[in-house]
């Protein structure tokens, strides 16, 4: 099949059963490999949907500039879209952003601005978002997709990721597990399944130190997971059945084991998701698939996750034994359950961070496309 442009290659990512790991552990986990999206991660889905909507609404005109705060996959997706659609892209990152990610953004032609000022939580999220919003106010014909506050992000996952999993599994999955940061994935998937098939358990993995489901925040190492507050894209925390907190080291080790024992090269958040899915499969005694959404590829972490010196410096065990999974799974605390999941929605930040009025803060009733959100007519 010929595609009209690279963006049409997004979605329809494969589901792959973990034969060797499932055999060894008596589990039933199937991974959804989002690295097969053209920009290399699940973030392509939300990024394409947001830009598509901005074009339809006239927020973004030919030759315009996309401005976003992101240190990783979302920025890379936007940089790719900018190149494919002829937009300039400015990305605000912070000193924690890896050189690999910055190089990828630049490869697609994005301009990268490093924000050095920390916010009141000791992270860079708020200062990055505020500066991006201020920049958008002064640059003409610019658009802020605003992945953190724009509800279209969870809407994209409702229409795209969740629908696709439902169709691929013929509605026979026992549970779906994904990682959480801006909340797009878990918000969209959990809303879809609560409406369509509430018996399917919806779970997310978060980092210890993240403030999404806990009032206590502190630094952690898992990239792409966690936030300082509960993002609005988690439309209703009560749609989530379980939240697993995963230790930094466990996520790194699990991701390496996945590569060694299945030949599946994924990022660090995927290691965390895999552990949540294995734990759930064991505790539910699942007979039907547990779908684990693997957000990106391990190539993005070649200097950390797959660098023995970095692992040694960071005290991360490089064991390769498949049965090490058992130890990691036993380390996982019982999950937080709905409706007792803590939430800390910060709608006050919409004003404080000068969120633009192009950001959609309510879940839309309309659909983008006739066929439940295929992103393909961009
Ligand atoms: C690889 C990866 N997994 C999971 C997530 C979390 O997704 P969301 O921001 O939709 O909650 C991210 C977010 O950056 C990510 O990059």
Ligand 1 atom 16: residue of nearest CA: 224
- Centre of ligand 1 to C-alpha 156, Å, is 13
CB count within 10 Å of CB 2 equals 4
Ligand 1 nearest-atom number relative to CA 268: 1
Per DSSP bridges, beta strands 336-337 and 242-246 are antiparallel
Q: Average model confidence (pLDDT) for the chain?
A: 93
Write down the pLDDT at residue 347.
Answer: 87
Q: Pick the residue with more confidence: 178 or 1? A: 178
Ligand 1 atom 10: residue of nearest CA: 184
Ligand 1 atom 5: residue of nearest CA: 224
The residue whose CB lies within 8 Å of the most ligand 1 atoms, and thus the one to mutate among 32, 33, 42, is 42
298 lines ligand 1 (CB under 6 A): no
Q: What is the mean pLDDT of residues 246-255?
A: 97
Q: What is the mean pLDDT of residues 235-262?
A: 97
Please report which confidence band the pLDDT of residue 231 belongs to, taking 50, 70 and 90 as the band edges: very high
Give me the domains of the chain, ranges plus CATH numbers.
Answer: 6-38+155-339 (3.40.50.1100), 42-150 (3.40.50.1100)
- Centre of ligand 1 to C-alpha 295, Å, is 6
**118-159 pLDDT, tens digit each:** 888 777 888 999 999 999 999 999 999 999 899 999 999 999
Ligand 1 atom 12: residue of nearest CA: 224
Ligand 1 nearest-atom number relative to CA 34: 1
- Centre of ligand 1 to C-alpha 98, Å, is 16
Helices (H), the chain: 19-25, 43-57, 73-85, 99-107, 125-138, 152-157, 163-168, 184-196, 248-262, 268-284, 308-313, 324-331, 348-352
Tell me which range, 48-52, 218-222, 351-355, is most confidently predicted by mean pLDDT. Answer: 48-52
pLDDT at 71 over 90: no
**271-288 pLDDT, tens digit each:** 999 999 999 999 999 999
């Amino acid at each position: 099949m010929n595609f009209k442009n690279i963006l049409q290659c997004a979605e329809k990512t494969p589901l792959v059963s973990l034969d060797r790991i499932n055999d060894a552990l008596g589990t039933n986990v199937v991974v959804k490999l989002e690295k097969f999206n053209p920009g290399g991660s699940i973030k392509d889905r939300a990024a394409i949907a947001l830009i598509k909507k901005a074009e339809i609404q006239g927020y973004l005109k030919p030759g315009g500039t996309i401005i976003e705060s992101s240190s990783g996959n979302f920025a890379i997706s936007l940089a790719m879209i900018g190149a494919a659609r002829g937009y300039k892209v400015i990305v605000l990152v912070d000193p924690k952003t890896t050189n690999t990610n910055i190089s990828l953004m630049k490869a697609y032609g994005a301009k990268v601005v490093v924000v050095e000022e920390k916010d009141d939580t000791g992270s860079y999220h708020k200062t990055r978002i505020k500066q991006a919003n201020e920049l958008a106010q002064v640059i003409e014909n610019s658009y802020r997709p605003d992945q953190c506050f724009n509800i279209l992000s969870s809407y994209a996952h409702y229409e795209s990721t969740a629908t696709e999993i439902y169709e691929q599994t013929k509605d026979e999955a026992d549970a779906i597990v994904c990682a959480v940061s801006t909340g797009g994935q878990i918000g969209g998937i959990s809303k879809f399944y609560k409406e369509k098939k509430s018996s399917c358990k919806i779970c997310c993995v978060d980092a210890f130190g993240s403030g999404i489901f806990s009032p206590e925040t502190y630094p952690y190492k898992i990239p792409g997971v966690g936030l300082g507050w509960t993002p609005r894209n988690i439309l209703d925390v009560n749609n989530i059945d379980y939240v697993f907190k995963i230790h930094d080291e466990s996520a790194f080790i699990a991701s390496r084991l996945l590569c060694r024992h299945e030949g599946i090269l994924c990022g660090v958040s995927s290691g965390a998701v895999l552990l949540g899915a294995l734990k759930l499969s064991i505790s539910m005694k699942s007979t039907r698939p547990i779908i684990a959404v693997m957000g990106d590829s391990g190539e993005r972490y070649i200097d950390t996750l797959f660098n023995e010196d970095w692992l040694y410096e960071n005290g991360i065990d490089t064991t390769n034994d498949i049965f090490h999974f058992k130890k990691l799974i036993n380390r996982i605390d019982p999950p937080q359950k709905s409706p007792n999941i803590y939430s800390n929605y910060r709608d006050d930040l919409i004003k404080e961070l000068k969120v633009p009025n192009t950001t959609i803060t309510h879940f839309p009733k309309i659909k983008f496309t006739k066929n439940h959100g295929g992103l393909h007519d961009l």
